[in-house]
Each structure stands twice: as C-alpha cells, then as structure tokens.
Amino acid sequence: MAEVKFLEEGLEKVFLKEIQNLGYQFIPNQEIIRPNYKMPIAVEILKDSLIKINPDVSLDVIDRALYQIRHIDAGLLESRNEHFFYYLQSGVEVSHYEEGKQKTTRIHLVDYQIIDKNNFVVTNQYTMIGKEQKRPDIVLFLNGLPIVVIELKSATTTQADISSAYRQIKNYQYDIEELFVYNAFNIISDFTHTKVGTITSNESWYKEWKTTDGNYESTRFADYSTLLRGILQKNRLLDIIKNFILFEHRDGNTVKIMGQYHQYFAVHKAVQSTFQAMEEGDGRGGVFWHTQGSGKSLSMVFYTQLVTRKLHQPTFVILTDRNNLDDQLYGQFSRVQEFLRQTPLQANSRAHLKELLN
C-alpha cells in the first residue's frame, strides 16, 4: 500500500506541474482563506475577483452577490449545481435600493472576454468536512470557485485504477457535497487512462479528450497531458464553461452534459464556416457530418447557442426527413431551453411553418 501511495503522490506532482505550466498559480491548501472546512469557496479571492470584474458596482452589492453565491439551497445537488451554473454563465442578479429606488444589478462571476481579469489557482489535498472529512487530490479554482476536482489512482493494482477513481469521486459527491455545488466537471486518471465527466455522469460517460487543438491526427494519443492541455487552457476552459455545458431535464431527472472534444471543435468550425459563408460566400456553410450515436442533436444545440450569441435574434429552421427524427430533435431542444434562453416551436405543416415564420 505504501508503494501505491507513493505512486499516486508522484502522479499528483506530474499533474500539478502540467497545470502550473498552463498558467495556474499553485497555493498550498492551508493558505487558501475560507471561513471553515465546510465552505469550499476561497472567499477572499472570490470577493477580490468580483470587484475586479464588476468595477462600477458598490461593495454592498458585491457582498449581496457573495451571500447569494454562498447560500444556494435548492434541494438536490443537481439542482443546486444548476442554480450555480446559471450564475456562472450569466451572472447573479442582485436587487437593491439606489437613491430610494429599487434596482437590479447583474454581477458577473467570470470575465469571458478578458481572460487575464480572472484568477486561476490550483491546490492539492484540499480538506473538506461534510458527512465525513475528505481530501480530494487536486482542486482547480476559477475566481475562488472550486470548479474542477481531479482524482488520481496509481493503476498498479485492480483495486487502484480509473474505476476506483470514479467511485471515489461519487463518494465525495455524497460525503462532501458542498464542494460539488460549485463544480464544472471532474477529471479522473490512473495515468494510463484520463477522462472527464460531470456530477451526473455514470462511469461510461466519463470520456477521454483526444486533441489539444482539433487536429485529429493526435487522437490516438489520448494521454493525461492531451486532456489537461486540451481542456484546461484558460481560454478553452472558459469557453467550455460558457458554451459547452448544459442541463437537460427528462422524466423528472436533471442530467448535466458537457460537450465532447469532437463536438467542441466541430461546432467551432461550423460557426466559423457559417460566418464566412454569410460575409464572403454564397450563404452555404458546408456539411457537418456525424456518425450514428456521436451526439448530433447536442451538436446542433451547441451550434445554435453559439450563433445566437453572435447574431441579433436569429431564426433557426431545422428541416428533417422523418417524423420521428423531427420529434426527437424538438424534444432535445425543448429539454435544454434554459441553456438556449428561448423556447423552441414545432411546425406541424407547411402552412403552420409559414405562420410561425411570419
């Protein structure tokens, strides 16, 4: 067991070095200031970040936003995490009085435009107390918010492999739930295999990230470094958080979905091609080709959301050649309408389509 622990400590050092090379500041866990071990947020870093990102907002309003962020009490972990993710993607709306009048101010947690305005920190052996006391191997903070948990195993025995890393993450989500209220995604590794998933992912939905730049020649080298550099580059991390993580509601359950590497790079290429076609070409952007089961419906959702952000109130018309496919796509878009910030409509005839477009 001592040898296994030594190997895991060595793997931890390798990961920490790789992450620091991406520009994250290492702060020893005992130096991260927070009220107690039950609170996962680095409160002082978060407050400083909110002031920096929202320079025209009074300290009183910043403090109110901090209170809302620290007190997310919406039932199940999935619901609390979804509530937080709305804050993370869109900001916190704070009601307050100014010169005797009630006003609502939106406080942004992240500056998605100017990367250097944000604070990126990594630490290890971060003590948390919940139902039990636990110390996850590595935690990444964005502006003081613990958004990534990394769990490592040595792969030297059948008891210490990537499956045991997954089980450890799931145990953490039960034992120290508060840490995962503010979670974007988790990374698990046994050095041989390294995968990423969300708080609702079962083990089969923890996936490798096989390229750092969309060059598919490198996809056969799905090592730990490829995943870390592919996901945790600062601008990539913010882009994934803003545009490629959503919550799907189906049959009373909440599922948190993160786009996979092929969706991420293909959607960006499709968006780029779309705008080139609009500005320079004949309006035809090209073909987005999928294999069966590769997540084409979700790729369309990510594409729609990204184009919507770049254009002023565009209209998307999705044509299908089968009724069941039409229902499938309409269902997919309906289940993620909070992410799209609009409600999809389904035409039941050509006349109805004309009516909707008018």
Long-range pairs for 30-35: beta carbons < 8 A, 24 or more residues apart: 32/121, 32/123, 32/126, 32/141
The pLDDT of residue 238 is 98
Q: Are 222 and 182 in contact (CB under 8 A)?
A: no
The pLDDT of residue 3 is 46
pTM of the predicted protein model: 0.92
State the DSSP string of 104-172.
Answer: EEEEPS--SS-GGGS-EEEEES--EESSSEE--SEEEEETTEEEEEEEE---SBTTBSHHHHHHHHHHH
> How many CB atoms are located within 10 Å of the residue 125 CB?
14
Q: How far apart are CA 80 and CA 139, in angstroms?
A: 19
The pLDDT of residue 9 is 76
The pLDDT of residue 53 is 98
Q: How far apart are CA 285 and CA 265, in angstroms?
A: 16
Which among 201, 167, 165 has a CA at the least distance from the CA of 183?
Answer: 201
Q: Where are the domains of the chain?
A: 2-54+112-243, 259-357
Q: Which residues contact 31 (CB under 8 A, 6 or more apart)?
A: none
> How many CB atoms are located within 10 Å of the residue 237 CB?
23
Query: How would CATH label the architecture of 2-54+112-243?
Result: Alpha-Beta Complex (3.90)
* Per-residue tens of pLDDT for the chain, all 358 residues: 444 454 667 889 999 999 999 999 999 999 999 999 999 999 999 999 999 999 999 999 999 999 999 999 878 999 999 999 999 999 999 988 887 888 899 999 999 999 999 999 999 999 999 999 999 999 999 999 999 999 998 766 656 789 999 999 999 999 999 999 999 999 999 988 999 999 999 999 999 999 988 886 555 666 899 999 999 999 999 999 999 999 999 888 999 999 999 999 999 999 999 888 888 878 888 888 777 777 888 999 999 999 988 887 888 898 888 888 888 888 898 899 888 888 999 998 889 999 988 8
Q: Are 175 and 131 in contact (CB under 8 A)?
A: yes
Estimate the share of the chain in helix, then strand, then coil, as percent rounded to the nearest 5: 45, 15, 35
- One-letter identity of residue 336: V
- One-letter identity of residue 265: F
Helix axis angle, 261-279 to 296-310, nearest 10°: 50
Which among 139, 149, 311, 338 has a CA at the least distance from the CA of 257?
Answer: 338
Q: Are 8 and 190 in contact (CB under 8 A)?
A: no
Residue 256 — φ and ψ, nearest 5°? -95, 125
